[in-house]
Amino acid sequence: MLSYRHAFHAGNHADVLKHLILVQIARYMGEKPAPFWIIDTHAGAGRYALESEHARKLGEWREGIGRLWDTDGLPPAAVDYVEQVKMLNPDGQLRHYPGSPWLARQLLRDGDRLRLYELHSTDGKLLQEAFRGAGRQVTITAGDGFAGLKAILPPPPRRALVLIDPSYETRDDYTAVVKGLQEALKRFATGTYALWYPMLHKLESRQLPARLKALGAASWLHVTLEVRAPARDGFGMHGSGMFVINPPWTLEKTLHETLPAIVARLAQDGGARYTLESQSA
């Protein structure tokens, strides 16, 4: 299915979690002089206009980045994330939200590379427009990101962050991420993999973390952010999670310092909370 458009959800609480972590991992990788790649298997449109018809229909950004935009006293990692979003809004008005590809590009150095995959034809065209003139640093492929990983891993510099965040429209998506990660780890066991998933009532969502742990990676970090209690009728996404394989050693401490403030600001009811667990090699 290719009906999913992230423009409806840009800047929501799930994007806050995903992109805060993306910024922290990219910052860490940039501390070493050796070049690295960022590979995004489901890149989307690259950036989003919050005043567009799609974004205004649900207005989810108001309960996400909108709650952090002019907030004082945020922890340093949250400030860093918000500052990256402000780079796309130089007049100080929150009108645009960067997707993962746009954020990743801002954090690359001259020798680093960005590899993007997008299967949706409309979003693929928008992605091309967003990176027009980017040159060799950015490569965009219209196609399946999991298939792309088979061809691209291991990357030449042997340093890479692979971001995986499909739409999870069907049950097959849950199977595909587990299989995709399993195959990727065989090709590139030392890479950093950051997988996003929605917290839903459906069984596939609730079982996914255990399936990811069973992949046998020596080092991983699992974080969830819930902004409300699950709905009694079982509908809707009440939170989301990130499962990071081979995470930076600094990431767990940073999240412990950051997420309490994020929960306090994004909470929609008393069920808001975060969880954080890890395993080290």
The residue extents of the domains of the chain are 6-219
Q: Which amino acid is at 210?
A: A
* Assigned token pair, 252: 């767990």
Q: Report the candidate in 268, 264, 273, 217 with the shortest Cα–Cα distance to residue 243.
A: 217
pLDDT at 192: 98
pLDDT, tens digit, 9 for 90 and up, residues 87-105: 999 999 999 999 999 999 9
Enumerate the active-site residues.
165
> Cα 236–194–89 angle (5° rounding)?
75
Tell me the average pLDDT across 45-52: 87
Q: Which architecture does CATH list for 6-219? A: 3-Layer(aba) Sandwich (3.40)
56-65, 72-81, 105-114, 263-272: lowest mean pLDDT where? 56-65
Report if pTM > 0.75. Answer: yes
Q: How far apart are CA 242 and CA 196, in angstroms?
A: 5
pLDDT at 42: 94
pLDDT at 1: 42
pLDDT at 121: 86
pLDDT at 147: 93
